[in-house]
Structure 1
Amino acid sequence: MTEGITWGIAPIGWRNDDIPEIGAENTLSHLLSDIVVAGFQGTEAGGFFPDTKILKKELELRKLRIAGKWFSSFLIRDGVQSVSKQFHEHCAFLKEVNASVAVVSEQTYSIQGTAKNVFGEKPFFTNEEWKVFTQGLNELGKIATDYDLHLVYHHHMGTGVQTLEEIDRLMALTDSSYVHLLYDTGHIFVSDNDYMTLLKKHRNRIKHVHFKDVRLTTLKNCKNNHLSFLQSFLKGMFTVPGDGCIDFKEVYKYLIETNYNGWIIIEAEQDPAIAHPLEYALIARKYIDENLFEKNHI
């Protein structure tokens, strides 16, 4: 184990909140037990997770932790007052399970759950919408601190904050005391064909990390066929580290050199009927052990 880094794997390989029918047979007990078998220290909470009392019991039995949970904000559509009420509930859940971060993604105009071409029809915000969005995000960040959480913003394919240019603007318009960044290797690579520039440029804002790999041939096919985000991941565009084209050794080395302190979550949206969740968790575990550590254990 590298001091300061906690390793987890996301539930999205077992069950997917955007397409609830895939992997529906995978229970919480199944997921958490697979995570133990694969040697990870925790996970992020999924939409299918139970209330905190049940969840804490299941976690304690396996000595696992919750890193955080996704929150879909609609600051532009609904306004900060409406969103804040939901976010308070979200943060209360996370504090109860001793999480570290609240993962936020602005979903106004998002096409990530639609049939639209994710490579050519992403939304954009107007100058006024950027102002409403970033001011609202600062307010949500203040709420998060009240619960001893970091708000980490998730740049994401098919949304208004996807490209490096948009992330630059987000960082410039938000308060670094309250709004932090979730660095996702897969999303920025698919968007910009580059993952190190973002890491180096905004390392001081990064408080949470997703290691997501990309199958380059599949990505090219998805682009050529103008597929949606959901269609693309079902085709296998994303995978776990060691099974795609991203050099995580370079990423990890830079994180270590800059004293990153937080979670690194393995995340790969795939169809569990095609990509066996435990099998791919073990592929990721093997890659980490053999390529990122001098000693073969965490």
Structure 2
Amino acid sequence: MTKPNIRIGHTAITWDNDQVQQAIEAIGSCGYWGTETFGWVLDEWERSGRDLPEAVQRSGLQLTSLYCHLDLVDPGKREDGIRQVMEWVELYNKFNGPVVVIGGMMLQRSGFAIAEHMDAIAATLNELGRRITDQGLLCCFHPHTGTPVETEDEIHRVMNAVDSSVVAFAPDLGQIAKGGSDPFRLIKEYYELIRMVHVKDYIGGPVQRDAEGKEIDPTGFLGYTPLGMGAVDIPGILGYLEERGYGHYASVELDGNQWSATRKGHPMMTPLEAIETSKRYLQRLGYDNFRTV
């Protein structure tokens, strides 16, 4: 691998939703370059009169991306969903951040056929992409397990249908792997459209469920792991991005599942230990460009 140059952040989702300040302080103290949180988190802080931009700045971070989700398949909910996202984007403008990551809402995957909803999905993403681009920001679509766009076929359908002049791509390595696809293959195929990468590892194998059909969480992080502890080819993917001269945004991500019995009982490690573990792994890969704190 060429000398690593990508500046890597870490999303705040590893902590519970009500621990955002704790998350950004820890992420900043580890020397990551930026962080990501949800649109509704900005809304909650704004409504309570707390100063999240100051807290992010104090931790030496940039809010490099904002994650927003909306209903992609119901045309009747399109305008309300877009209006909500754009309200979050307006709050995000206070942070001078560059990227808005867009995902779909969770739905019942059994019996779902994306072909029946492609017109609605493309129309919603294209309209949202135009409005976000008009704000001078990057709009990046993010596939996610349990949403309308989970599998490789679904990713292909959406990325081939959207207007790439206003909708870029934000692949999540772990989510793609958990959905049963090869993230490296998709990184190569859509490299020219990628503007944000969620660098995430996954324990590997199909999702296991209990007798009630609920997902069994073997790690306390929805089956995801700190970097280097799962089955995703993190060195190969980062090496490829470096060799191609990738100059956009990347964030380590490790999903926190505050409702998981494993997370509440015996998680593989604490959130702070997890982000430190991922940092040490990246350093072993040659990433010596963490901020000095």
**TM-score, structure 1 length as denominator?**
0.82
1:297: Cα distance to partner?
4.5
CA contact (8 A) 2:65 2:100 kept: yes
**Match of 1:183, SS?**
coil
Q: For residues 13 and 273 of structure 2, what CA distance do their matches in structure 1 show?
A: 14
Question: Per-residue CA shift, 1:96-135, capped at 9, x if unaligned?
Answer: 211221111122x624xxxxxx7xx3733244x2112202
Q: For residues 111 and 13 of structure 2, what CA distance do their matches in structure 1 show?
A: 23
1:56: Cα distance to partner?
1.1
1:60: Cα distance to partner?
1.8
Q: 2:276: which partner in 1?
A: 282
Cα distance change on mapping 1:176 and 1:232 into 2, 3 Å: farther
Q: 1:209: which partner in 2?
A: 197
Q: 1:9: which partner in 2?
A: 10
1:243: Cα distance to partner?
1.5
Cα distance change on mapping 1:297 and 1:82 into 2, 3 Å: closer
Runs of 4+ in 1 over 3 A off after TM superposition: 46-49, 223-236, 270-273, 295-298
Q: 2:79: which partner in 1?
A: 81
1:183: Cα distance to partner?
1.0
Given candidates 155, 159, 164, the residue that maps to 2:152 is: 164
Question: Per-residue CA shift, 1:1-57, capped at 9, x if unaligned?
Answer: 955x331111111115xxxxxxx5x3x332222112222112102344522970111
**TM-score, structure 2 length as denominator?**
0.84
CA contact (8 A) 1:239 1:270 kept: no
Q: 2:65: which partner in 1?
A: 68
Q: For residues 226 and 203 of structure 1, what CA distance do their matches in structure 2 show?
A: 39
Q: 1:94: which partner in 2?
A: 92
**Match of 1:244, SS?**
coil
**Match of 2:118, SS?**
helix
Q: For residues 201 and 37 of structure 1, what CA distance do their matches in structure 2 show?
A: 35
1:181: Cα distance to partner?
0.9
Q: For residues 221 and 96 of structure 2, what CA distance do their matches in structure 1 show?
A: 35
Q: For residues 221 and 152 of structure 1, what CA distance do their matches in structure 2 show?
A: 26
State the identity %. 24
CA contact (8 A) 2:178 2:207 kept: no
1:222 maps onto 2:220 in alignment: no
Within 5 Å, give how 1:18-29 maps onto structure 2: 24=18, 26=19, 28-29=20-21
Q: For residues 77 and 278 of structure 2, what CA distance do their matches in structure 1 show?
A: 40
**Match of 2:238, SS?**
helix
Question: Per-residue CA shift, 1:66-101, capped at 9, x if unaligned?
Answer: 022221221432343332321221221222211221
Question: Per-residue CA shift, 1:186-216, capped at 9, x if unaligned?
Answer: 1111122422111111111111101111113
Given candidates 268, 274, 285, the residue that maps to 2:254 is: 268
1:244 maps onto 2:230 in alignment: yes
Q: 1:182: which partner in 2?
A: 170
Q: 1:20: which partner in 2?
A: none
Q: For residues 133 and 44 of structure 1, what CA distance do their matches in structure 2 show?
A: 24
Gaps of at least 5 residues in structure 2 are: 258-262
Aligned length: 275
